[in-house]
Structure 1
């Protein structure tokens, strides 16, 4: 990922927060089967290793896990809020017209090599923790323990788990930091009043990261 210094995010707490906030990550690798990408919900253990460890699982029918089992390096992409930025929001447009459209966004990239496993007890612990993470906050959260054990065992046989210690972590917060304060303020206001709710989220992040 190309990361100019103005957009670089090195704060591990913020990087981990964005990773947890990204519901569905994209795990990519280039191995014997070529370039592969899988969309996966992941669990982050921040205290395991220098940058944390990611846990997840594939459908056993997905051939992607086989490349990871062979030691192929993986890149995991966590995409945060993003929004189109029109030149019309820049006060500089009225001053000299030397403005062009851009796209503001937040993204985190994590690299590592995964350990693949299919031990049923280890898998059920992973599935339970992933479910608990995404059920949290619901009025009546569903639990893995509600499923009949024979059904659960059959489902566990259909997946393969992995642990991916993060060896390298990179964050990009492209929020207009290279623009003037007036331009940044105007873009933030434009995003905050946009009819697209996704734009509002990015506007809020611009406030946080002033």
Structure 2
């Protein structure tokens, strides 16, 4: 992921984003494969250095992780297309403005440990359910669920965050774009507005 100085997210900002967007793509390159294994998955960032999740036992990711435990967890949320005419400088031809897309994305480079023992899997399930569904019963009472999964514990080695919202432009420029976003009200526009000054 290309990260410019003006759209780089700080460490804490990036981790806060991951906590708020606990669904991403787990990418395991394995060894000597034509393509990596990419798994959409829910996860839990337990602390600044640890992610836990569980997946079904037949998932192809397990073989790739056994081949190479270095994985990438990629998290990206709403995006918003910004027409070139919105970004053209005042007094210039709107047709000469350069379009872009606003978005936030964080990538966690991790070392993956497969968790196969029952107690380890229960610990992961209890943590995830405690976060997502505190009223759920104890997973220890669901042996079929437990036997059908394996857990993953990811040790975070590097955090890469990008918040692409014209951070290299001045406040007046971003305010103009914010005005257009407010008027349009598209699916990703409210998220983009939270990163821009109001007009």
What's the TM-score bracket when you normalise by the shorter of the two chains?
Answer: 0.7 to 0.9
How big is the shift at 1:96? 4.2
The TM-score, its normalising length taken from structure 2, stands at 0.88
2:72 corresponding residue in structure 1: 75
Uncovered stretches (5+) of structure 1, i.e. residues with no partner:
136-140
Q: Deviations over 1:120-172 (max 9, x none)?
A: 1221221122122123xxxxx53133x782xx111111111011111111110
| Residues 89-116 of structure 1, C-alpha deviations (whole Å, 9 max, x = no match) | 2351642443121101110011122010
Contact 2:24 2:73 in 1 (8 A): yes
Cα 1:207–1:130 change in 2 (3 A) is farther
Aligned equivalents of 1:148, 1:71: Cα separation in 2: 31
Whole-Å separation in 2 of the counterparts to 1:65 and 1:21: 26
Alignment match, 1:138? none
Counting matched residue pairs gives 195
CA distance change for structure 1 residues 16 and 87 in 2, over 3 Å: closer, same or farther? Answer: same
Q: Distance in 1 between matches of 2:117 and 2:196?
A: 44
2:24–2:74 contact (8 Å) kept in structure 1: yes
Matches within 5 A, 1:176-191: 176-191=166-181
How does 1:129-208 map onto structure 2 within 5 Å?
129-135=127-133, 142-145=135-138, 149=141, 152-207=142-197
Residue correspondence of structure 1 range 56-67 to structure 2 within 5 A: 56-67=53-64
Q: Which moved more, 1:86-95 or 1:29-38?
A: 86-95
Aligned mates of 1:80, 1:21 — CA distance in 2: 10
- 1:84 matched residue in structure 2: 81
Give ranges in structure 2 of 5+ residues lacking alignment: none
CA RMSD of aligned residues (A): 2.1
Q: For 1:160, what is the secondary structure of its paired residue?
A: strand
Structure 1 stretch 84-93 or stretch 60-69: which is displaced more? 84-93
What's the secondary structure of 1:172's corresponding residue?
strand
User: TM-score, normalising length from structure 1?
Assistant: 0.84
1:23-102 equivalence runs, <5 A: 23-32=22-31, 33=33, 34-47=35-48, 52-90=49-87, 92=89, 94-97=91-94, 98-102=96-100
Moved over 6 A (4+): none
